[in-house]
Amino acid sequence: MKKNLLNYSLDELKEIAAELDGRAFRGEQLFEALHKRNTDTISGVKSIGRELIQKLEEKYYIGKDENKLVTNSKADKTQKFLFEIEPDHKGNKYLIETVLIREEGRNTVCVSTQVGCNVGCEFCATGKMGFSKNLTVAEIISQVYQVKKISGEEITNIVYMGMGEPFLNYDNMLKSLKILTHPKGMNLSSKRITVSTVGFKDKIKKFAEDILSDKEIKNVKLALSLHSTDNGIRESIIPTSKKNKLGMIYDELSYFYSRTKNKVTYEYIHFPGINDTEEDIKRLVRISKMVPCNINVIPFHPINFELKTPLNIYNGSDIDISLSNKKLFELIAKLRDEKVVVNLRSSAGVDINAACGQLTISNQNTLTNHHKVI
């Protein structure tokens, strides 16, 4: 069975080249063709010579996510891409979503790391669709390459905030970081990459050590999906937090900063009346003083799923947007009064279900009305 060359690191490609051709440096030429020039076929890698091309084609191929649909926002310049990834060993086909967010001076790709998600956050459409599989390294990085090719935009930033929990596909996520930042490849600065997680015991500490072990990824930013400062509420909306208590997560974040000196971001979806109490504000102020950080406050984007306690207040009811916005700005103002670095994260792509928590594939085998081009 042929293997996808996009899954291999530079060192691994050098080993392959040495084995097939006797010249390891051909692996460097192959890596540059794959990750700097984004060559689509082995025969297109002219620099390595016909003999090696033929040998490679017997065992390997270059496989990228196949674009099925591009949906354009009418409200802003956001685009959502529907990709079909390679079938699994049973022949099952899967779809994922990737988002390009255009802002002044930056083009950010929001990449997915799983088909679905096995965290099951109550407020997230991806979590509601369940988990199917982890994405391979090739399936992660080719989202970036394909978005760049289709959109014609230079990619300036990457956030691992699409479908799935990056830390539950840890090895492939980490390897993809090393490939995307490599000087002989895309050469994206690690300062322009953020990895988001809900937090898992020992994983944040491990992440700190792993990024420190490679100078090209040492400045990758970490974002914690916090969403509530109350253990009970957080456990009811983020099931995995029952085994990953906030106190433990805070300790791990302190360790992360002490080792990397990288500023931490807290992601905080605003649920009016649930996580904007005076006690919440006091706890957020205390949290903000533990390590240098910023808090990104995100408007809640309703999803087409039944929500459970405490979010069931939103089921079957029209949210008063004006009142919700008023409470949102009050929360931000109170935090700023306490000298907390807080930002309102814009809701790019809401009209095409591309905003935070909205990515989902309701049917893995067909394109549904949910994915109609706007």
372 has pLDDT over 70: no
Percentage of the chain with pLDDT > 70?
A: 94
- Nearest Cα to Cα of residue 81 among 171, 187, 155: 155
Side chain identity, residue 242: K
Torsion of CA 306, 232, 267, 193, to 10 degrees: -100
pLDDT band at 360 (very low <50, low <70, confident <90, very high): confident
- CA max distance for the chain: 70
What's the CA gap between 303 and 271, in Å, rounded? 13
Q: How far is CA 205 from the centre of its chain?
A: 19
51 has pLDDT over 60: yes
Side chain identity, residue 66: E
DSSP string over 82-119? EEEEPP-TT---EEEEEEEEEETTEEEEE---EEE-SS
Name the one residue in this structure whose structure tokens are 């992360």.
Answer: 256
Neighbour-count burial of 259, counting CB atoms closer than 10 A to its CB (0-12 exposed, 13-18 middle, 19+ buried)? middle
Give the tens place of pLDDT for each residue, 19-41.
Answer: 999 999 999 999 999 999 999 99
CA angle 140, 141, 142 (to 5 degrees): 95
What's the CA gap between 71 and 137, in Å, rounded? 25
- Nearest Cα to Cα of residue 169 among 131, 218, 220: 131
* Per-residue tokens: 223: 């974002």
155-164, 193-202, 225-234, 341-350: range with lowest mean pLDDT: 341-350
- CATH number corresponding to 3-61: 1.10.150.530
Report in angstroms the alpha-carbon separations of 246 from 150, 292, 342. 41, 18, 20
369 has pLDDT over 60: no
What's the CA gap between 102 and 153, in Å, rounded? 9
Beta-carbon contacts of 242 under 8 Å, excluding residues fewer than 6 positions away, are: 235
Report whether 115 contacts 88 (CB < 8 A): no
pLDDT (average), residues 43-62: 96
Name beta bridge partners: 197. 224
What's the CA gap between 304 and 198, in Å, rounded? 22
Rounded to the nearest integer, the mean pLDDT of the chain is 92
Beta-carbon contacts of 63 under 8 Å, excluding residues fewer than 6 positions away, are: 4, 6, 86, 138, 142
55-64, 208-217, 302-311: range with lowest mean pLDDT: 302-311
pLDDT band at 321 (very low <50, low <70, confident <90, very high): low
Give the tens place of pLDDT for each residue, 78-132.
Answer: 999 999 999 888 888 999 999 999 998 999 999 999 999 999 999 998 999 999 9
Task: Give the predicted TM-score (pTM) of the model.
Answer: 0.93
For the chain, how many helices (H) and strands (E)? Answer: 11, 14
Name the one residue in this structure whose structure tokens are 């599989």.
Answer: 133
Q: What are phi and psi of 263, to 5 degrees?
A: -60, 145
Q: Where are the domains of the chain?
A: 3-61, 100-132+150-359
Report whether 265 contacts 293 (CB < 8 A): yes
What's the CA gap between 74 and 78, in Å, rounded? 8
How high is the pLDDT of residue 362? 58
Name beta bridge partners: 357. none
Beta-carbon contacts of 361 under 8 Å, excluding residues fewer than 6 positions away, are: 82, 95, 96, 97, 115, 116, 129
Catalytic residues: 97, 356
Task: Quote the CATH superfamily of domain 100-132+150-359.
Answer: Aldolase class I (3.20.20.70)
